Amino acid sequence: MCVCVCVCVCVQSGPASLPAEDISTNSNGPKQDSLFDDDPEDLFAEATEEVSLDSPERDVLLSDGPSPAITPITPPTSVITPRIGLAHDDMFTHSSFDEIEEEEGGDSFDIHIAVSDPEKVGDGMNAYMAYKVTTKTSLSLFKTDEFSVKRRFSDFLGLHSKLASKYLHIGYIVPPAPEKSIVGMTKVKVGKEDQSSNEFVEKRRSALERYLMRTVKHPILLKDPDVLQFLESSELPRAVSTQALSSAGLLRMVNKAADAVNKMTIKMNESDAWFEEKQQHFENLDVQLRKLHASVESLVCHRKELSVNTAQFAKSAAMLGNSEDHTALSRALSQLAEVEEKIDQLHQDQANADFYLFSELLGDYVRLITAVKGVFDHRMKTWQKWQDSQLLLQKKREAEAKLQFTNKPDKLQQAKDEIKELEGKVQQGERDFEQISKTIRKEVSRFEKERVKDFKTIIIKYLESLVQTQQQLIKYWEAFLPEAKAIS
């Protein structure tokens, strides 16, 4: 099964220009309608070029640091012909996205990423953990079926920041990367080889794995060259701008603050009830998930406590059994102590399950919802931009009208030129707004589907672990019962 897709990434050079550059992937699907070769209506056939993954054009896009605003342009509808099977034109028209989803839904999503083998590289404060990222896939997007690379945490953060800068403002829900933890990392750097630092590394490893899986599950992000490079290439330029104390980091903080202020001042005229309803829905979901997350964390804590207390009780019961001089009772008490000890282990395992299955997932979703809310905010900003340029156009028109009555032909011409440009901007703004609204609709429905699926899977896994625990408990108590009955 192959997915042949081409991502059109266009740099805005003017209104209504055709895609200047194509980065397409290998097509080797004999069964699928071949995309580029045969179709006579394919206006883009000449424009398409097979670009290999190491092409210089690609490198341009992979430069570190804020990439230029890349806005996809919906080519005028007369140019695009609706196609059966996969459309290779840009992903953003309604029909093509749907079809891709059908493709995706039809065959099994065939990529699996594992993050494993954390090892400490270096010493002291410059040390870091390197993780092995193994990809197993049959997608033709990749060069081989199975390959692995070594990555460190800042690489993941770098990937996320690139994806966020490319896709967030056009309405795609980019999965957030795992959080930094200065305390946790310092412990690891310092070399404390204890329980808590091992737990921290395991927690991070698991979080990184979930992050990558979530990212590649997104059909657009999967095809992104940055993602592909991250998964495949053995050397990756160090993502310096992810450091908290770098200038980029400070810039990020300033931007965040500015955004928060802006959000409060934008009064959007919401014409689409769907968005209003969805925003409310996500607000509610946010509150509920946070509450649930807090309860689950509390449960994990209490279960760990329970395990400790059960172990202590087991020891105490054993002592009691020792001092009891009635032999059968003494034996029964010792048995009780053993049972309780085993139960303690069970509690411990259950706590781990609670944590890894449940709590982490909830944490992920709390952060995801923040990303979703961010996307809604970007839509508001896009609307604002459109409105602003409309206002500006109006002002310029008024100014031009005034200029009509003065005798300044060059100024008039200048005004006319500006108006023409602004008209284009306004049109663009409107298109952008519609585009982002459309994209958000798609994204939200995909997100909700994923969420329901995720939760269902986790809960089933969790319930299964519970059943196992109960069965173990039954075994233990059944073994104890005859001992208790044997006391005479």
Partner 1 sequence: MSSLQSDHYPRAVNVDLQTDATLQVDISDALSERDKVKFTVHTKSTLPNFKQNEFSVVRQHEEFIWLHDSFVENEDYAGYIIPPAPPRPDFDASREKLQKLGEGEGSMTKEEFTKMKQELEAEYLAIFKKTVAMHEVFLCRVAAHPVLRKDLNFHVFLEYNQDLSVRGKNKKEKLEDFFKNVVKSADGVLVAGVKDVDDFFEHEKTFLLEYHNRVKDASAKSDRMIRSHKNAADDINRIASSLYSLGTQDSTDVCKYEHTHKIEARVAADEDLKLADLLKYYLRESQAAKDLLYRRSRSLVDYENANKALDKARAKNRDVLQAETSQQLCCHKFEKISESAKQELIDFKTRRVAAFRKNLVELAELELKHAKVKGLVTVRSR
Residues near partner 1 (CB under 8 A): 284-285, 288-289, 291-292, 295-296, 298-299, 302-303, 305-306, 309-310, 312-313, 315-317, 319-320, 322-326, 328-329, 332-333, 336, 448, 452, 455-456, 459-460, 463-464, 466-467, 470-471, 473-474, 477-478, 480-481, 484-485, 487-488
Task: Yes or no: say if 152 and 235 are a contact pair by the CB < 8 Å rule.
Answer: no
Tokens of 8: 């059109």
Dihedral angle computed from the Cα positions of residues 353, 355, 359 and 361, in that order, rounded to the nearest 10 degrees: -60
Strand partners, 50: 24
Neighbours of 57 (CB within 10 A): 14
Cβ-based nearer residue to partner 1, 128 or 462: 462
Closest separation in Å from C-beta 274 to partner 1:
17
d(CA 270, CA 232): 43
Task: Yes or no: say if 477 and 339 are a contact pair by the CB < 8 Å rule.
Answer: yes
Q: What is the DSSP string of 350-391?
A: HHHHIIIIIIHHHHHHHHHHHHHHHHHHHHHHHHHHHHHHHH
Closest separation in Å from C-beta 158 to partner 1:
34
Closest separation in Å from C-beta 483 to partner 1:
8
Cβ-based nearer residue to partner 1, 244 or 487: 487
d(CA 286, CA 291): 9
Question: Which residue, 172, 208, 175, 179, is CA-closest to 365?
Answer: 175
Closest separation in Å from C-beta 284 to partner 1:
7
Closest separation in Å from C-beta 303 to partner 1:
5
Cβ-based nearer residue to partner 1, 255 or 322: 322
Strand partners, 23: 7
Neighbours of 71 (CB within 10 A): 17
CB neighbour list of residue 320: distance below 8 Å, 6 or more residues apart: 333
Closest separation in Å from C-beta 215 to partner 1:
24
Cβ-based nearer residue to partner 1, 147 or 462: 462
Cβ-based nearer residue to partner 1, 291 or 395: 291
Q: The sheet that has 128-137: what strands, in order across it?
A: 111-121, 128-137, 146-152
Closest separation in Å from C-beta 351 to partner 1:
9
Closest separation in Å from C-beta 266 to partner 1:
28
Cβ-based nearer residue to partner 1, 34 or 469: 469
Cβ-based nearer residue to partner 1, 250 or 452: 452
Cβ-based nearer residue to partner 1, 58 or 451: 451
